[in-house]
Structure formats: C-alpha cells, structure tokens
A and B are shown apart, each in its own frame.
Chain A
C-alpha cells in the first residue's frame, strides 16, 4: 500500500516567506484601515477641499486602499528586514 514516499509540506525559502507574508498581512490591515477611514471620510468631500481635485468615490476608495497597502507593506517590510538581519546573540549568552 505504501507506493509513494512521504510528501511533506512545501518548504518556502525565507525570502519567499518574507515577501508573501509582508504582502498578505499588509493587505489585510490595509483593508481594515480603508474600511475604518472611509466610514468617517467621504472621498468626494476630501477631494473638494482642494479646488483643482475632482475625484470619484470609486477612485477615492481604490487610491486610499493602495495607499494604505503600500504604507503597511513598507512598515512591515522594514520590520521584517530588521528582525531578520539583526546580529545573532553570541553562543555564550544564549543559555
């Protein structure tokens, strides 16, 4: 009955893990942020604060979402980078 060897879960490289995790978590947080932000602010009203900006709601929501996504990705990307590249504690003090 044992015809195929044990498969095991796929192993991702650390870089792949970092990229996908950062992209995905910042996506989720950006979605929440967009929802909360636009519950309080109407993109049309925000646009009308400036004389030469005319923005539709659809475009406003999308811009807001991508703004939050990029912002969150920068934040968690830098955090992930710093955590991963921090100097290792030396062995003597590890215990």
Chain B
C-alpha cells in the first residue's frame, strides 16, 4: 500500500473540498444514505401494539424489539448478535472490500448528509473554495450562517432521535416542545448531537484516516481475489492530456487523460492512480468521475473500476476460497443457532436465593423449615398464572404459596417461600429443585436448584 504522495506529506492541515459527481455509484450511495438515515430517524416513531416498536428502555432494564422483549438475562443473545455483526463485516470485506466504509458506515452516511447541506448553502466545489478564500462580506456570512443553521438543527434532531431509542420518543418530543427535558436525557442528546456535528461537519475523512481501527486492519481481510477499486495502470499509462480528436495510441499515450477529476471527487483526498491506499473508503466516486470522462472521450468505461488484483494481472478471480468458506460457514452456523435459540426461548425465568440469616428452623412435630426468596420473571407480554412446585427431598412441601401465582406481563415477582420437610428425611444438606410452570401452557416452564439444610443426625 502506498502512502499519500510526497508533495502533500509535509503540508499541514489542508481542507478537502470533495467535488460533486453524478453516476451509478453516486446514485447507490445517495440511496444508501437516504434509506439508512431514514430508518434511523423513523424507527423510534414506529409503534407495535401501542408501544414503541424499538425501545432500549434502560431505566426499566428491558429492550423492546418489535414483538420481542429482552431482559438483562438475555445478554448472550446480544453478544451473539455482535459476533455475527463482526463476522459479517469480515465476510463482506473479504468478498468486496470496504463496502461498509463506502456505503453504510455512520461516519460516511452523516458526512454525506452534511456535505449536501454544505452544497445547498455554499454551492459547488469551486464556489466553496472561492468562498473560503474570499474576505468576509455580508453574503459570505449569510451562506456560512445558513450552513451552520442547517448543520446545528440537523445535529440537534439527530441527538434527540438517538435519545429516543432509549426514552419513549413521543413523551420526549412533548417534553422538548414544553422545554422540559430532564438532565441526563438533555446531556446525552446534546452529546450525541455535538459528536455528529463535529464528526460529519469537520472531522470527516480524518476519522477514517486517523481514528478508525477497522480502516487500519481491514487489509488483513483482503486477498488478491477481493473486490477493490483500482486504476487499470496498464491501460491508463502513460497518462497525458490530448485533443479529443487525436489518436492517442499513435502519440504513445494510455487512456488516462490526467484530468484529476478522480482526485477532486475523492472525499479522502487521495489519488486512486497511486494504487490501493488505506485512506480509500471505497465510495466509488472516482469510478463515476472516470466513467464520465471516458464517455466524453469515447473510450470504453472502466479505467477506474471494481476489480481484483488477480484480474488486473489477467489471472482468474476465485470467489469461493477457503477464507470465504470459513467466514461463511461460521456466519451461517451462528445465525442459525441464534434464530433457533430465540425461537425456542422460554419467556419465564426463576431465580432462587436462600435466606442467609438462618440455616434452618425446627418446628414442632419434627418438621424442618428453610426460607427462600424466589424471583419469578414473566417475560411474556401477557399476564399469566403459574404453579410452583418443589422436590428433591421425600415429603417436601411449600408453605404459604398460592396454587396459582399470577404475574403481569413483563413483571418480576419477588416471592418469599417457606419450604418444609420431615426431620427424618432432611438430615444435612440436600439439593432441591424449584419448578415453575405456566398453568395455560406446560411447555412454559423453568427450574432452578437450591440447597435444603437440616440438622446433622
């Protein structure tokens, strides 16, 4: 991989003015931006059975995902989901390079939206460059103020939406209108809004170049069959300007007319003709730029194109290679096991805690009693009745527990329980088993072991 060319190595902090370009990949990236941002801003407002469809209710320690409610105890699902996400990233990176960076990364997507606002208020690339060099006038101030207004409003809305994933968004909206937003909510909203403003407005490609760990180690997932954006050196060189009518082959020139359009459109300010560089986020803007020039020159498209190292060397590209099979198999196995375990998840949980204050109590009639605190969690959304039983010691019984225990949907019931057994059968330490079963559906059942302690014989 090459670094940036020597000319710019020693120049400090230059601002990049990405030039706007139309084309196939530009359309794709606009579509991705609209869809992804659209989802981000719309999802908190969706309803599912009269409650917010997606709500990570941190104060209540419950995650609502459409019809599903996840509890802290369901953490393994989240961990599995994150592993699947990471594996997908590896898989798609090995297959098609930095698709994530170019089209789906929040940094790219929000930067794109911020650049649109910049173009809307300050104009095209050359207008923006001229504006920044020009002295402060009323018109410059108006344009800059307009941009800041759009950026800040958009950032605040973004921060508000972000918080809306964690607090009921409708109530939050009403609170904001009434200027009555609570401390932490306000803090996180402003925090996220400010991060968006800074990252998408000012840091932009510098986040990818200097701060993103994925950008640095993605090359470990690349091989010679990975789809990358590349300049076809054999076809392009020697580059040089020429008349449109001239026969460049006769003049000894390649297809590159050295127009620098691919450089001007690049959001990270690199020259794709220098080869694969880690700054390249694979946004494909240079492909669009070059194709538009090739069309004008009546040359075939694809001087800069999606290709693989092997295909540039005229060797065949293999899609099915060991790396892909390993990633693919792991991905499939994990996804299927996640789906199966989610589908067969029992919406009921029992936790048993033995009373720490006393080992046991001896009652009249040779009876020994132990005390426990049970936590029963009805993880379904409907109220349910449950039956509680205990076994493990001959003649063991529960005292003071109703035959039917009713728990509202999504509620935790803390239940003190006295367990009794005959003294003769309860010597020393025995393992007992609490079982709780829904009365309407015997398959909804959960069990947990505990210890029953009696006097030494």
Contacts and interface: CB of A to CB of B under 8 A. Distances in A.
A12 B17 CA distance: 17
Contact of B61 (A2, A4, A28, A42): A42
B126 interface: yes
A1 B12 contact: no
A61 B75 contact: no
A3 B126 contact: yes
- Tier of interface size on chain B: 35 or more
A10 B14 contact: yes
Interface string A11-24: 11100010011001
Given A9-B8, A11-B9, A20 B16 contact: no
Interface residues of A, number: 30
Nearest to B259: A1
Interface centre among B5, B75, B211, B270, by most chain A C-beta atoms within 10 angstroms, is B211
B7 interface: yes
B279 A9 contact: yes
Contacts of B270: 8-9
A65 B365 CA distance: 56
Contact of B261 (A1, A21, A28, A39): A1
Interface in B68-125: 72, 75, 78
A69 to B, nearest CB: 12
Given A58-B58, A59-B184, A8 B5 contact: yes
A8 B14 contact: yes
A61 B269 CA distance: 40
Nearest to B268: A9
Contacts, number: 96
Interface string A35-64: 110111010000000000000111101100
Contact of A57 (B11, B59, B188, B210): B59
Interface string B56-69: 00110100000000
Contacts of A11: 8-14
A25 B213 contact: yes
A62 B182 CA distance: 14
A58 B78 contact: no
Contacts of A35: 78
Contact of B58 (A12, A17, A25, A57): A57
Interface string B197-217: 000000001110111010000
B5 A6 contact: yes
A95 interface: no
Contacts of B269: 7-10
B128 to A, nearest CB: 11
